[in-house]
């Protein structure tokens, strides 16, 4: 049996029950207090010839426990989420000063001023979802001209990193600057998805409302899940 009861915050909890049975409040403790008040009022005003059954009382008490349990669960999940964020921040900070491979198509080439200095380049890589029978790398300059083509042959699925020696197709040395790399992969004549990877140096960690991001200097920022390999 249920009846409508009008209460004007008799428990001083900041929550009230209206004649329609609606409740307003901000916490499970407020809801539990008002629920108990309503239950006591219901018991006091029930029809003696048709009292509340045991199963009805048990059901209402179970609802109180459910609400309280949900609030405790939310508190626990919030604590776990905070621990995960702190763990990710610690993991990210350990990458400072290390090179990482992330999705991208840039290779940087540079040569020292000393006589006999060789051209040095940043690594490049590829991520394959399945093994490939033929993988071809094409390196172009800033104007889109192809300066070097490299055949990598067969590669297994996964992440692979390589280094270009800085030589051009004609045997000369690549001028200082940024180059673009594109990669094609095939198996049985069928093109495969080949994600080019570029090198970046982790210079710091930025903690924000959206999580932890890695500061990559001129390459901007990236998240931990974008890191494919740590060098």
What pLDDT, in 10s, does the model give residues 63-85?
Answer: 666 766 676 777 766 666 655 56
Say how far apart CA 26 and CA 71 lie, in whole Å: 11
Domain assignment present for 119: yes
> If you write DSSP's letter for every residue of 148-210 in order, what string do you get?
EEEEEEEE-SEEEEE---SB-TTS-BPPSEEEEEEEEEEETTEEE-EEEEEEEE--EEEEETT
- Crossing angle of helices 28-44 and 54-93, in 10° steps, is 180
Domain assignment present for 218: no
Say how far apart CA 103 and CA 34 lie, in whole Å: 56
What pLDDT, on the 0 to 100 scale, is given for residue 93? 81
Q: Where are the beta strands (DSSP E) in 21-145?
A: 23-24, 99-103, 106-111, 119-121, 124-128, 132-140
Token readout for 203 is 């210079």
Domain assignment present for 106: yes
What pLDDT, on the 0 to 100 scale, is given for residue 39? 67
pTM recorded for the entire structure: 0.63
Residue of 104, 92, 32 lying closest to 68 (CA atoms): 32
Say how far apart CA 70 and CA 201 lie, in whole Å: 44
- For the chain, the average pLDDT equals 79
pLDDT tens, residue by residue, 158-192: 999 999 999 999 999 999 999 999 999 999 999 99
Cβ-based neighbour number of residue 16 at 10 Å: 16
What pLDDT, on the 0 to 100 scale, is given for residue 9? 44
Token readout for 124 is 């490049």
pLDDT tens, residue by residue, 129-148: 999 999 999 999 999 999 99
Cβ-based neighbour number of residue 182 at 10 Å: 13
Say how far apart CA 191 and CA 200 lie, in whole Å: 28
Domain assignment present for 47: no
Q: E strand or H helix at 44, and its extent?
A: helix 28-44
What pLDDT, on the 0 to 100 scale, is given for residue 182? 97
Domain assignment present for 115: yes
Domain assignment present for 158: yes
What pLDDT, on the 0 to 100 scale, is given for residue 55? 63
Domain assignment present for 107: yes
Domains in the chain: how many in total?
1
Most confident of 28-32, 111-115, 220-224: 220-224
Q: What are residue 134's DSSP bridge partners?
A: 186
Residue 151: which CATH number?
A: 2.60.40.4070
Q: In sequence order, which residues have a C-beta less than 8 Å from that of residue 81 and are 6 or more positions away?
A: none
Q: Which domain, by its residues, includes 158? A: 99-199
């Amino acid at each position: 049996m249920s009846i409508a009861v009008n209460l004007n915050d008799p428990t001083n909890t900041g929550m009230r029950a209206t004649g329609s049975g609606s409740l307003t409040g901000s916490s499970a403790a407020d809801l539990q207090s008002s629920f108990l008040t309503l239950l006591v009022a219901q018991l006091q005003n029930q029809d003696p010839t048709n009292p509340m059954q045991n199963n009805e009382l048990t059901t209402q008490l179970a609802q109180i426990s459910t609400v309280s349990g949900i609030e405790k669960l939310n508190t626990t999940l919030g604590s776990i989420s905070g621990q995960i964020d702190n763990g990710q921040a610690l993991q990210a900070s350990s990458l400072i000063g290390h090179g990482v491979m992330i999705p991208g198509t840039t290779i940087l080439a540079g040569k020292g001023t000393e006589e006999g200095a060789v051209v040095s380049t940043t690594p490049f890589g590829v991520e394959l979802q399945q093994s490939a029978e033929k993988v071809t790398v094409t390196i172009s300059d800033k104007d889109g001209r192809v300066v070097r083509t490299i055949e990598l042959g067969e590669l297994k699925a996964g992440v692979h990193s390589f280094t270009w020696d800085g030589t051009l197709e004609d045997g000369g040395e690549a001028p200082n600057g940024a180059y673009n790399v594109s990669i094609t992969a095939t198996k049985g004549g069928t093109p495969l998805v080949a994600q080019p990877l570029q090198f970046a140096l982790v210079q710091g960690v930025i903690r924000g409302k959206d999580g932890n991001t890695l500061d990559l200097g001129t390459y901007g920022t990236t998240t931990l899940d974008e890191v494919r390999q740590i060098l």
